[in-house]
C-alpha cells in the first residue's frame, strides 16, 4: 500500500507541469489526498471493516470533492487532475498508470447486483466530464474525450469521443478523417466526428451546386 502511495505522488511530477515539490503535492493536491485515503479505506474494506471504510471514503469526499467507493480496485500510478466531481463506483477496477480529470464518472447503469461498474485497462486517459457506465471493459492505451458517454466495450489502442462514445482512432489509424496526434495527455486534440459529418455534408452541397451550375450552363449553350 505504501509503495503505491509513493508511486501515486511520483506520477504527479510526470503528468502535471505545475507540480514543484513533494511537500506541495502532499499539502495541496486533492487528487493525491483522495487516492491516499482510498488506499487506507480499501485496506479496511478487504478486511470486512465496511463501515469504517465507508466513513473514511465519506470524509475523503467531504475534503476533496472526489468520491471513491472503498471497494474500488485501483492500480499504481493513478492520477486525478483537479478532481472535483469525480465518482468511482464500488466494483470499478482500474489498471496501472491511469489519468482522469474533473467531473469523470465511473458508474453503473441501474440497480443490478454484482459487477456493475467499468473495468479500466492500463495507460488510459479519461478527459473532463466523461461518463463510463456499466460493467464494460476499456482496453489498454485508450483515450476518452471530454464529455463523452461510453456505454460499450472499447478495445485496446483506441480513442473514443461523443455521446454515445464512438471510436475515432484505432491502432493509430484515424477513422474520422482528421489528423490526430497520439500524444499522451493531449486530450484537447481529439477528432470531432460530428463536425466531420457537417463538413462532409457541406462538401457534398458544394459539389451539387457546382454540378447544377454546369447543367444550367450546358442548357443555355444548347439554346
The pLDDT value given to residue 187: 55
Q: Is the peptide bond before 141 cis (omega within 30 degrees of 0)?
A: no
| pLDDT 10s digits, 191-200 | 566 666 677 7
- Report the distance separating Cα 206 and Cα 197, nearest Å: 14
| pLDDT 10s digits, 12-51 | 888 888 888 889 988 999 999 999 999 999 999 999 999 9
Q: How many C-beta atoms lie closer than 10 Å to residue 81's C-beta?
A: 20
**Residue 58: enclosing H or E segment and its boundaries?**
helix 50-64
Task: Quote the DSSP letter at residue 189.
Answer: S
Size (the chain), residues: 223
| pLDDT 10s digits, 136-150 | 999 999 999 988 999
Report residue 103 as a C-alpha cell. 467531473
**CA 105 centroid distance within chain:** 9
Amino acid at each position: 500500500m505504501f509503495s503505491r502511495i509513493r508511486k501515486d505522488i511520483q506520477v504527479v511530477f510526470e503528468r502535471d507541469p505545475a507540480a514543484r515539490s513533494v511537500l506541495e503535492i502532499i499539502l495541496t493536491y486533492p487528487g493525491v489526498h483522495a487516492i491516499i485515503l482510498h488506499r487506507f479505506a480499501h485496506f479496511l474494506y478487504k478486511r470486512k471493516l465496511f463501515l469504517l471504510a465507508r466513513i473514511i471514503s465519506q470524509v475523503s469526499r467531504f475534503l476533496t470533492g472526489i468520491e471513491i467507493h472503498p471497494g474500488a480496485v485501483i492500480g499504481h500510478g493513478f492520477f486525478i487532475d483537479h478532481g472535483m466531481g469525480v465518482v468511482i463506483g464500488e466494483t470499478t477496477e482500474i489498471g496501472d498508470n491511469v489519468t482522469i480529470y474533473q467531473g469523470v464518472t465511473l458508474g453503473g447503469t441501474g440497480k443490478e447486483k454484482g459487477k456493475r461498474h467499468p473495468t479500466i485497462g492500463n495507460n488510459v486517459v479519461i478527459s473532463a466530464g466523461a461518463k463510463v457506465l456499466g460493467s464494460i471493459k476499456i482496453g489498454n492505451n485508450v483515450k476518452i474525450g471530454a464529455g463523452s458517454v461510453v456505454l460499450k466495450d472499447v478495445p485496446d489502442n483506441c480513442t473514443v469521443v461523443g455521446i454515445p462514445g464512438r471510436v475515432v482512432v484505432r491502432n493509430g489509424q484515424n477513422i474520422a478523417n482528421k489528423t490526430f496526434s497520439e500524444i499522451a495527455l493531449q486530450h484537447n486534440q481529439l477528432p470531432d466526428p460530428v463536425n466531420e459529418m457537417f463538413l462532409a455534408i457541406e462538401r457534398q452541397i458544394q459539389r451539387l451546386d457546382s454540378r447544377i451550375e454546369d447543367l444550367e450552363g450546358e442548357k443555355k449553350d444548347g439554346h
